[in-house]
Amino acid sequence: MAEGAPTTPVQFSRSEIVSILSGLMLAMFLASLDQTIVATSLSTMARDLNGWALMSWVVSAYLVTSTITTPIYGRLSDLYGRRTVLLFAIALFLGASVLCALSQTMPELIAARALQGVGGGGLRSVSQAAIADVIPPRERGRYQGYFSSVMAVSNLLGPVLGGFFADYLTWHWIFWINIPFGVLALVLCNRNLRRLAKPARRPTIDWLGAALILGSTTPILLAANRAQAAGGWGRVDVLIPLAIGIALLAGLIVWEREMPQPMIPLRLFANRIFAAGSLISFSMFMVMTAMIILVPLDFELASGLAPNEAGMRLIPMTGGTVLGSFIAGQLVSRTGHYRIFPILGAAAMTVVCGAVAALGLGRSWPLDTTLTAALGLSFGFQLPTVIVPVQNALDLADTGIGLSSIMFFRLIGGAFGVALLSGILVSGLNSGALALPGHDVLGPNPGISLLHPDQQGTGNPALLAGLQDTIRAAFSQVFVYAAVISALTTAASFRLREIPLRGR
């Protein structure tokens, strides 16, 4: 048995499983919700705290810290036990939520959001690992589908709740609302996870490995965030942090190869199922996360819908994701087979992205609903059916770090997907707009101005009407590239080997 490995897993009754999953799903919901809930209230926060220049960091601070801590939490939960690490993460998340609600300046809010992200990284990764301790792989598909549905619903509900609190109460309620739900999650997890087996030996922590994870991931995420904001990767302030992150990543790989108990065991990548699952997760989330952000933007710019109306157009996609996750999870549990579902999901994602590129959105409500719902179904078929085989293929001692690594690749892939496809969109808008007379009103970078008309004062209906062909062509190009990434995801899905799912 590996050092720090848990003892023989405990068997749980169905009622115990339902109670445990309630606490875990609530923790997952809070972590996912707080990544999106501030999006529609940023301007209100910036106005109240007089921090327009730092506004984007309210989102970025949480995204960066929750991402870079995800694999660290997974490894710590393998070494110290799920319950201890998860309770710490929830308590930290709650304390940081209070600090966010009490913030009086924008720097205070950003610092509190960064601390909140440190807690949020643990909520996501340890919740996934705890499922593997409670439910056998043969039954995990259906339960993993529930978790995937929670993530999809939180992505849709976050902006709606954020806008509601900002309009009818105050933005502070965005963070106060975490307290009752967080306390409930804390109570449920504390009570229900007591029976989980604890590590048998005293753990040895790879602190330098943890530092290198933080040091390499942070500048890479900052570079992706800057590329998204600037609409391209060729800027010095993008390339320098990217180069620093890659150099530290190389150092991390060299160090982890020599450590007896590394923070990220590189031997996991020798496992074909883990390697394929990591690649699928990275590329699929490049498309999924970008679509969640860019599809409403397409409706706003190409169809002239208000932001709240454009957000409502995401409901078919979210509903499709929930339905697809539920169907795929149930079928995996009933049949014991999983390989076909990510293949079908990735292939469908490729076809739908190609169809949207050819047909466009905003021309017909029934067509829009069909396309976005089909895209959601393709996402749903991939979400639980990649996690389950990875859980099944890993030793119990590596469950936490393995699943948190998959979550890490999802988050990193999402950040790169948004940055890459947003850059392609801005480039297309720039080239088309600069060829039109009267584009001077849009400034030197018309693509960025069109993406943020409320900040740039460029919401001129006549100019936007003249730019319709440019806008549609730019979004069509985005969906073409999304289809290419989806095709690569399909190819990676064929590398996912099928092995029998364990019944215990």
- The pLDDT tens digits for 138-191 are 676 667 767 777 777 777 677 777 767 777 778 888 888 889 888 988 888 888
Query: Looking at the structure, do residues 317 and 425 belong to the same domain, yes or no?
Result: yes
Of 501, 320, 250, 284, the C-alpha closest to 406 is 284
Query: Tell me: the pLDDT tens digits for 230-249?
Result: 666 778 888 898 899 899 88
| Residue 1 counted as domain residue | no
| Residue 393 counted as domain residue | yes
Of 398, 389, 289, 279, the C-alpha closest to 329 is 389
CA Rg value for the chain: 22
| Residue 53 counted as domain residue | yes
Task: Indicate the pTM of the whole model.
Answer: 0.79
* Domain stops at, among 152, 177, 201: 201
| Cα–Cα distance, 161 to 169 (Å, whole number) | 11
Query: Looking at the structure, do residues 364 and 476 belong to the same domain, yes or no?
Result: yes
Percentage of residues of the chain with pLDDT beyond 70? 84
Query: Looking at the structure, do residues 243 and 361 belong to the same domain, yes or no?
Result: no
Q: Total domain count for the chain? A: 3
* Domain stops at, among 176, 201, 226: 201
pLDDT at residue 3 greater than cutoff 60: no
> How confident is the model over 253-281, as a mean pLDDT?
86
| Residue 2 counted as domain residue | no
- AA letter at 164: F
| Residue 69 counted as domain residue | yes
* Domain stops at, among 157, 183, 201: 201
DSSP-derived letter for residue 10 is: P
**Look-up: residue for tokens 């304390």?**
95
pLDDT at residue 434 greater than cutoff 70: no
> pLDDT value at position 287?
93
| Residue 3 counted as domain residue | no
Query: Looking at the structure, do residues 331 and 195 belong to the same domain, yes or no?
Result: no
**Residues of the domain holding 50:** 8-201
> pLDDT value at position 1?
38
Query: Looking at the structure, do residues 234 and 146 belong to the same domain, yes or no?
Result: no
Query: Looking at the structure, do residues 57 and 175 belong to the same domain, yes or no?
Result: yes
Angstrom CA distances, 182 to 54, 123, 192, 229, stand at 28, 10, 15, 32
Query: Looking at the structure, do residues 134 and 242 belong to the same domain, yes or no?
Result: no
| Residue 473 counted as domain residue | yes
For the domain that residue 357 is a member of, what is the CATH number? Answer: 1.20.1250.20
Query: Looking at the structure, do residues 213 and 195 belong to the same domain, yes or no?
Result: no
Query: Looking at the structure, do residues 235 and 281 belong to the same domain, yes or no?
Result: no
Query: Looking at the structure, do residues 196 and 276 belong to the same domain, yes or no?
Result: no
pLDDT band (50, 70, 90) for residue 443: low
Which residues lie below 8 Å from residue 92, measured CB to CB, with a gap of 6+? 115, 118, 119, 122
Query: Looking at the structure, do residues 181 and 323 belong to the same domain, yes or no?
Result: no
Residue with the bigger pLDDT between 92 and 305: it is 92
Query: Looking at the structure, do residues 256 and 302 belong to the same domain, yes or no?
Result: no
